[in-house]
Amino acid sequence: MRAEHGRSAPLAMDGIGRKASRRTPGQTRRVTCGRRRRSIPPSRPSPENHARHRSVAWYEARNLINQALRRETAVLHSLVELARGPANSDADGVKALSAQAATFQNWIDARAKQRGAQGTAPIVGWNESPDSRRIPGRIGEFGPLTYQNDNVLLARLGKERYAKIKLLNSEATPLLNVQDQSELYAYEIVNFVDGKRTIGEIRDAVSAEYGPLPVSLVMDYLEACAEAKVTAWK
């Protein structure tokens, strides 16, 4: 059986690789079509705000491609492990995906420059903060924190503390709540906690799924999870 898996791995890898290559351009369409939800900018933004918005948009566009590459590469690695194929048998697929992602990144960089972005890479500031480098880890295995009528954080923290969680507070994040996105973000934030990702990396992964999210909201939510003994800081 092991030998059979090993022989079938290259054929499966080829098919999965082609599918992954077709999925990656979809992330570029998200960039060009502006599918991400954004808050309404000031009516007359200052030049400084203009520069900041350009840099942030550039960062988010690159993040979409980076996260797509990580996701598709992980799929290839998982296939090799499942099929018990030889080590590095997914190397060609990974190389092709990386080249495709690099092409898209170069296109994004060129468009950013055309729109007045400065520097060789986008600068957003928050990813250099100490909080963004903190690493949360899970305390045991658990499922969704909110399921049907059960709410783990509410049960462990109480109504007063729960109401102060900014991500779930309709006054702090009215747009997310109106769009019914808060719980989706909350679910994915915890889903990406693996004891290795930093707050900034979790923020980037979640933002690629549902749209840009301030790192402060991720930090605040995971602070509540730590208080509830669902996660702990490393």
Class of the CATH-defined domain 2-34+48-114: mainly alpha
Amino acid at 116: G
Exposed/middle/buried for residue 24 (C-beta within 10 Å: 0-12, 13-18, 19+): buried
Q: Provide the pairing of β-strand 146-147 with 231-233.
A: unpaired
Of the candidate ranges 22-31, 48-57, 166-175, the one whose mean pLDDT is the lowest: 22-31
pLDDT at 4: 44
> Which structure tokens are listed for 135?
């690493």
> Which structure tokens are listed for 40?
């309404």
Mean of per-residue pLDDT scores for the chain:
80
> Cα(118)–Cα(158) distance, rounded to whole angstroms?
47
> Cα(69)–Cα(56) distance, rounded to whole angstroms?
20
Task: Indicate the pLDDT class of residue 38, thresholds 50, 70 and 90.
Answer: very low
> Cα(191)–Cα(234) distance, rounded to whole angstroms?
17
pLDDT in tens, 151-173: 899 999 999 999 999 998 877 66
pLDDT at 169: 83
Question: Left, alpha or beta for 40 (phi > 0: left; psi -120 to 50: alpha)?
Answer: beta
- Answering whether pTM is above 0.85, one says no
Residue intervals in the chain for CATH 1.10.132:
2-34+48-114
pLDDT in tens, 110-128: 999 888 888 888 887 777 7
Task: Indicate the pLDDT class of residue 84, thresholds 50, 70 and 90.
Answer: confident
Crossing angle (nearest 10°) for helices 215-227 and 152-162: 110
The three-state (H, E, C) secondary structure of the chain, written as one string: CHHHHHHHHHHHHHHHHHHHHHHHHHHHHHHHHCCCCCCCCCCCCCHHHHHHHHHHHHHHHHHHHHHHHHHHHHHHHHHHHHHCCCCCCCHHHHHHHHHHHHHHHHHHHHHHHHCCCCCCCCCCCHHHCCHHHCCEEECCCCCCCEECCEEHHHHHHHHHHHCCCHHHCCCCCHHHHHCCCHHHHHHHHHHCCCCCCCHHHHHHHHHHHHCCCCHHHHHHHHHHHHHCCCEEEC
Exposed/middle/buried for residue 223 (C-beta within 10 Å: 0-12, 13-18, 19+): middle
Beta bridge partners of 136: 233
